[in-house]
């Protein structure tokens, strides 16, 4: 029984062809294309307003050098939100529950921020490994600790996104299974459990958006330290 709960996280395939590429490309296909008219419909207006607000909020703590990342970070945010939200629909697959995909997004972007810091301001970038005013006997220990914390950052990014989405999907499936089992025997308890399931689904919608925002926000904070 427990194995079937985790089957939803297996990458689907059709005739031996993995379908994860379609699941990754689908969010981009669903985005409405802005028309050439002066007046847009409500969906495009809402999408434009959301992207503008998010970009302004994201670039607020960054200097001019970090504004070059606006397109990349905004596109990543839209991709993560759409992928996480589509994964809440029935009979769908969520690519962001795969640790390999999340690490594939986190590690290169984190490395890019580190390389930018080492290229533009190597003294400041290396200075993060040793806080100012550190006693001399603690210098080797603190350098090792700060180096380890630096390399843990991409792992924390990928694991946080994977763990939150995986736990939410498992909890939804467990409660949904309990509703179907209790419905013939205890209808009142089943209805109460279904109410909890509905509230949990709303919570998971919020988690899907918040986790995408946290992923991009932490990347912007790492970029802020190196530009």
pLDDT at 147: 87
Quickly list DSSP for 123-148.
Answer: HHHHHTTS-TT--GGGHHHHHHHHHH
Number of domains in the chain: 1
Q: Is residue 105 included in any domain, yes or no?
A: yes
pLDDT at 214: 92
β-sheet bridge partners, residue 13 = 18
Q: Give the pTM.
A: 0.82
pLDDT at 2: 47
Domain of residue 53: give its range.
7-226
pLDDT at 187: 85
Q: Is residue 207 included in any domain, yes or no?
A: yes
Q: Can you say how many angstroms the Cα of residue 91 is from the centroid of all Cα atoms in its chain?
A: 21
Question: What is the tens place of the pLDDT at every residue in 162-173?
Answer: 999 888 888 888
Q: Is residue 2 included in any domain, yes or no?
A: no
The list of the chain residues with pLDDT below 50 reads 1-2
Q: Is residue 184 included in any domain, yes or no?
A: yes
DSSP 67: G
pLDDT at 4: 64
Neighbours of 57 (CB within 10 A): 12
């Amino acid at each position: 029984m427990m194995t079937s709960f985790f089957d939803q996280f297996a990458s689907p395939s059709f005739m031996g062809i993995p379908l994860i590429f379609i699941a990754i490309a689908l969010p981009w296909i669903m985005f409405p294309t802005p028309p050439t008219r002066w007046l847009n419909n409500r969906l495009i207006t809402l999408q434009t307003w959301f992207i503008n607000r998010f970009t302004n909020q994201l670039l607020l703590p960054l200097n001019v050098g970090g504004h070059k990342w606006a397109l990349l970070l905004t596109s990543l945010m839209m991709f993560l939100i759409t992928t996480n939200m589509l994964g809440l629909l029935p009979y769908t697959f969520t690519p962001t529950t795969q640790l390999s995909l999340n690490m594939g997004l986190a590690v290169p972007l984190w490395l890019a921020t580190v390389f930018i810091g080492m290229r533009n301001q190597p003294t400041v970038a290396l200075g993060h490994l040793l806080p100012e005013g550190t006693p001399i006997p603690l210098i080797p220990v603190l350098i090792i600790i700060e180096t380890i914390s630096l390399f843990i950052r991409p792992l924390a990014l990928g694991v946080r996104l994977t763990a939150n989405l995986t736990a939410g999907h498992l909890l939804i499936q467990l409660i949904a299974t309990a509703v179907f089992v209790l419905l013939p025997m205890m209808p009142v308890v089943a209805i109460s459990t279904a109410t909890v399931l509905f509230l949990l689904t709303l919570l998971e919608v919020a988690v899907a958006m918040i986790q995408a925002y946290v992923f991009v926000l932490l990347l912007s904070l790492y970029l802020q330290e190196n530009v």
